[in-house]
Structure 1
Amino acid sequence: MGFFKRNPFGHILFLKKWLIRIFGVLTHRRYRGFNQLQIEGSEIFKDLPETNVLFVSNHQTYFADVVAMFHVFNASLKGRGDSIKNVGYLWNPKLNIYYVAAAETMKSGLLPKVLAYAGSVSIDRTWRADGKEVNRQVKMSDISNIGIALNDGWVITFPQGTTKPWKPIRRGTAYIIKQYKPVVVPIVIDGFRRSFDKKGIQIKKKGILQSMVIKKPLDIDYDNESVDSIIEKIEYAIEQHPSFLKVLTPQEIAEMESLNKLRKFNVEE
């Protein structure tokens, strides 16, 4: 790799590699140390194409979710399976992983700006700005940038556009899927909201069992399937469809209580 080789967004790959290495080492114990990340389905990564893959996930914090995915993706590609043991998998990380984030968030301080260099595709939200509800048109340059990222590699997006659960899927995600026809891989995460503050920077509680389930790619008819149908598939896949809010059976409640015992807080802070 040439020292000044850049990706399509002008980021120097040598610098990006070292940012991922450094932040990977600094954050590793957040997922394998005083918290434990339980991973399922990571064998899928080795069979995915090098480019045009879109990961859709529910969202719990601004940054901790994405950082965990960088760990899991790279660990799996280095043969770790459902484990992030031994952070050496980040010595030669996959450099064409991107994530979609609100431009407002990525400009909110020095740390977000540094994290943006590691792979952010920043977009202007059409529904919210400066903490207020807005209604503005989608910037075509934002859509084009997501397309550029897909053409170069893998892209992570949080189609609800918020860390609040049970919010609707933004229709723009379905339009992007129909336009660029990526392989769409759903991811379901849990435990991050209990582990970290909203930004995913400050540690809120230790001893939390975090989980990340990577599911099989969605079966989508890009040309004939409607936007509403794609949205519904995503809602079910990332377990954010309204039907998941229905009353649970006694067996499901018992299983959740059993799992919550594993997620109990440590007495030590």
Structure 2
Amino acid sequence: MGILKKNPFGHYLFIKKWLIRIFGVLSHRRYRGFNELKIEGSEIIKNLPDNNVLFVSNHQTYFADVTAMFHVFNAALSGRVDSIKNVGYLWQPKLNIYYVAAKETMNAGFLTRMMAYAGAVSVERTWREKGKEVQREVNPDDHKNIGIALKDGWVITFPQGTTKPFKPIRKGTAHIIKQYKPVVIPIVIDGFRRSFDKKGLRIRKKGILQSFQIKEPLVIDYENESVEEIVEKLEYAIEQHPSFLKVIPREALEVMEELNKTRTWDYEGEY
């Protein structure tokens, strides 16, 4: 890889590689040390095409979620199944992994700007800005940039656009799926909002089980399924459809959030 080689967004891959290595080393013990990340389904990652893959996931923190995905994906590509043991898998990371993030968040400071360089596709929120409700049209350049990222590699998105559970899926993700026809891989995570603060930068509690489930690709009829049908399929896939509240009452979720209880796990591995 030439030292001056860039990705489609003009970012130097040499710099991006070192940022992923540095952030990866600094964050590794957050998932395998202070807390433990239980992974399921990572064998799916190894068999995916090199590009036009869209990962859709529920969202619990601004940055810890996507950081875990960089760990899991690169570990799986290096041959580790359901494990991120030994951070050496980040020495040669996959450099065409991107994640969709709010432009406002990624421009908030020096640290977030560096994290953005590591792979963010920044988009303008159409419904909120600086903590206030707004109404604006979708910026067509945002969809275009997501398409560019898909053409180049893998894209991670959180289609609810918020860390609050059971909020509606934004239709923009379904439009992107219909337009670019990516392989869609659902991911369901849990334990992150108990482990970290809302931004996912500060550890709130140690000894928490963090779960990370990768599911089989969704079967989607890109031409004939409606946006609404795809939205509903996404809600079920990432376990955020309102029907899940009948299994886990909202009141129970609120109590769990309030008490921030530690989840136990019979992990016997060695860091």
State the TM-score, normalized to the length of structure 2: 0.92
1:175-213 deviations in Å (ceiling 9; x for gaps): 000000000000000000000000000110000000100
Deviation per residue, 1:114-143 (Å, 9 max, x gap):
000000000000010110111110000000
- Write the mapping of 1:161-240 to structure 2, written as runs, cut at 5 A: 161-240=161-240
- Unaligned runs of 5+ residues in structure 1 are 250-255, 264-269
1:83 maps to 83
Shift of 1:248: 5.3
Match for residue 141 of structure 1?
Answer: 141
1:120 maps onto 2:104 in alignment: no
The aligned runs of 1:35-50 (5 Å cut-off) are: 35-50=35-50
Q: Relative to structure 1, is the Cα distance of residues 36 and 171 closer, same or farther in structure 2, using a 3 angstrom cutoff?
A: same
Q: Which runs of 4+ in 1 moved over 6 A?
A: none
- How far 1:262 sits from its partner (Å)? 0.8
Q: Count residues with an aligned counterpart.
A: 256
Give the deviation of 1:217 after TM superposition.
Answer: 0.4
In the aligned structure 2, how far is the partner of 1:91 from the partner of 1:39?
Answer: 21
Report the secondary structure of 1:22's partner residue.
helix
Stretches of structure 2 that go unaligned for 5 or more consecutive residues are 250-255, 266-271
In structure 2, what is the Cα distance between the partners aligned to 1:62 and 1:98? 15
- Report deviation, 1:51: 0.4
**Equivalent-residue separation in structure 1 for 2:4 and 2:221 (angstroms):** 40
Cα distance in 1 between the residues matched to 2:15 and 2:107 = 19
Aligned partner of 1:227: which letter? V
Q: SS at 1:197's partner residue?
A: coil
The answer on 1:262 being equivalent to 2:269 is no
1:97-156 residue CA offsets vs partner (Å, 9 max, x unmatched): 000000000011111100000000000000101101111100000000000000000000
